[in-house]
Amino acid sequence: MSAATLLRDVFGFDAFRPGQQDIVEAVAAGRNTLAIMPTGGGKSLCFQLPALMRSGVTVVISPLIALMRDQVRGLQQAGVVAGALTSGNTEEETEAVWSALESGTLKLLYMAPERLSAGGTVQMLQRAGVSLIAVDEAHCVSQWGHDFRPDYLRIGDLREALDVPLAAFTATADAETQAEIVQKLFAGQQPATFLHGFDRPNIHLAFAAKDSPRAQILTFAAARKGQSGIVYTGTRAKTETLAQALREAGHLACHYHGGMEAEDRRIVERRFQQEDGLIVCATVAFGMGIDKPDIRWVAHADLPKSIEAYYQEIGRAGRDGAPAETLTLFGPDDIRYRRQQIDEGLAPADRRTADHGRLNALLGLAEALHCRRQTLLSYFGETSDPCGHCDLCDKPAEVFDATTPVRMALSAALRTEEYFGAGHLIDILLGQPTDKIKARGHDSLPTYGVGRDYDRRQWQAIFRQMMGHDLLRPDRDRHGALRMTDHARPILRGEAQIMLRRDTITAAKGAGPKVH
């Protein structure tokens, strides 16, 4: 049967979603394939449909039992012979899988990667007439991602043992993860690669400078009372305090993080799935496997760790296609925290550089001067017109030539041997005779007191934007000390200008600001 007929008759869809047809054709033709599609983009169809077009059985490696069971149930209801071998199986279910395998009627066999380490699994699959391996959530093979599953590393061997085509699927689009997937799953041989449909036009994008985060989140939630939402926070403790604050404000709210008992986490997951209008305050542990189509909003009380993480997290909103809202708060502490996390992590140096780059991309998005969606999509390799559905399209950012204050700030950092954090540098710029300034003799620097046209909060906003533009970076070996990056040199030398956003700076000053 043709793909179009199967799509209609078995899956009940009238048309392919963007990108699906190309992927289906490549996979059905037996090409090694890597498909990158956002969550909710319709990846499963891209291996389920080819599985029906090919002879024999397709093995699907998937990391989550709940997802496997869901898909198997869906397929069975559509009349497809599919089964899963999971630890959650009843004896009858396992029996049914074995007999369908033996009779050659089984078309899709789901299993967790851990199964591959069980004795005999590979031999069993060799006998079973497997014609295709599909790998869901293929980024789990990446050792540096937080979803790393060591058993995913066995998939490469499985592909070689079975000598059949492999199709890998993921929503993670960054280049390093892709390279790792190609390395580990395809032994370095570049597969046919598809990247599609990253735009989620129904999601409104917005960022705000972190001012009083709890009040900002409460205001955002108050305007959406009764709607299901997620608040992501950077720490476990904050999930609890924020949930409490939301409850006190009359919301239905609970918390979720990786330190909770498995059973308590399941209760929250179930409640979120079933109840309307529940807010979950969570760390990123609340993620993969949430399949609730009508999440109306996602807020970040703290800056996510990278542009990919941001995209995945906001992408949980509005999967039903109805309007959804997002708000991401960010401040200098977030930037410092995220940089520190990267620097103190165990990743090798080149990986850390890449992680800084991904954080920079997110900061660039946070401090974007034009349409956020354009900025976001261009990172994923897609072009688009201004979207008309983000805070910057709603109200364009005003910018000003900040070359002079930025040069002052850089000069303060350089003249103090790049040894101090923003607080002390601002004291110098403002000419504050603090004990530390006097003890170090910094009151005799030429930069001392040159920055009085701005107040402390404005300077904080300037420093934050400078970190956002990666002009200054905290030095991992000197706690909090700001070091100038190569991007800053042309500005310091007077060879380049820098524009910064005016709004966060004027907002910082209060009434009647003097901004040049």
The residues in 444-483 that bind ligand ADP, with binding defined as CB under 6 A, are: none
Which residues have CB under 8 Å from 300's CB, separation 6+? Answer: 231, 232, 310, 313, 326, 327, 328, 329, 330
Closer Cβ to ligand ADP, 113 or 468, answer by number:
113
Q: Tell me which residue has its CB nearest to ligand ADP.
A: 42
Q: Which is nearer to ligand ADP, 291 or 503 (CB)?
A: 291
As measured in angstroms, the least distance from the Cβ of 193 to ligand ADP is 16
Interface with ligand ADP in residues 16-75 (CB under 6 A): 16-17, 20, 37, 39-45
Q: Which is nearer to ligand ADP, 170 or 458 (CB)?
A: 170
Contact flag: residue 13 with ligand ADP (CB under 6 A): yes
Nearer to ligand ADP among residue 40 and residue 474 (C-beta):
40
Site string for ligand ADP, 205-244 (x = CB under 6 A): ----------------------------------------
CA distance 448 to 179: 49
CA-based nearest residue to 191, from 170, 205, 215, 218: 170
Q: How far is the CB of 384 from ligand ADP (least distance, A)?
A: 20
Closer Cβ to ligand ADP, 169 or 220, answer by number:
169
Q: Nearest distance from residue 290's CB to ligand ADP, in Å?
A: 11
Q: Which is nearer to ligand ADP, 39 or 447 (CB)?
A: 39
Residues that bind ligand ADP (rule: CB under 6 A) add up to a total of 12
Q: What is d(CA 335, CA 463) in angstroms, rounded to the nearest whole number?
A: 11
**With CB under 6 A as the contact rule, which of the stretches 9-17, 213-221, 246-254, 303-311 interacts with ligand ADP?**
9-17
Contact residues for 506 (Cβ-Cβ < 8 A; gap 6+): 458, 513, 515
Residue with smaller CB distance to ligand ADP, 14 or 495: 14
Q: What does the block give as tokens for 109? A: 């066999």
Q: Minimum distance between the CB of residue 316 and ligand ADP, rounded to whole angstroms?
A: 10
CB of 94 to ligand ADP, least distance (A): 25
Task: Closer to ligand ADP by CB, 196 or 300: give it.
Answer: 196
State the nearest-atom distance from the C-beta of 228 to ligand ADP, in Å: 17
Number of Cβ atoms within 10 Å of the Cβ of 398:
12
Q: What is the DSSP string of 306-361?
A: SHHHHHHHHTTTTTTSS-EEEEEEE-HHHHHHHHHHHHHSSS-HHHHHHHHHHHHH
What's the min distance (Å) between Cβ of 296 and ligand ADP?
Answer: 18
Check: CB of residue 498 under 8 Å from CB of residue 438.
Answer: no
Which range binds ligand ADP by CB under 6 A, 12-20, 344-352, 372-380, 397-405? 12-20
Under a CB-based contact definition with an 8 Å cutoff, are residues 326 and 258 in contact? Answer: no
DSSP β-bridge partners for residue 198? none
Work out how close the CB of 328 gets to ligand ADP at its nearest, in angstroms, rounded to a whole number.
Answer: 22
- Footprint of ligand ADP on 170-189 (CB under 6 A): none
Position 325: which residue type?
A: E
Phi, psi of 183 (to 5 degrees): -65, -50
Which is closer to ligand ADP, CB of 16 or CB of 207?
16
CB atoms within 10 A of CB 177: 20
CA gyration radius, the chain: 26
Smallest distance from ligand ADP to CB 37, Å: 5
Q: Which tokens go with 266? A: 């399941």
Return d(Cα 298, Cα 229) in angstroms, integer: 6
292 binding ligand ADP? (CB under 6 A):
no
Q: Is 225 helix (H, G, I), strand (E, B) or coil?
A: coil
Residues that bind ligand ADP (CB under 6 A): 13, 16-17, 20, 37, 39-45
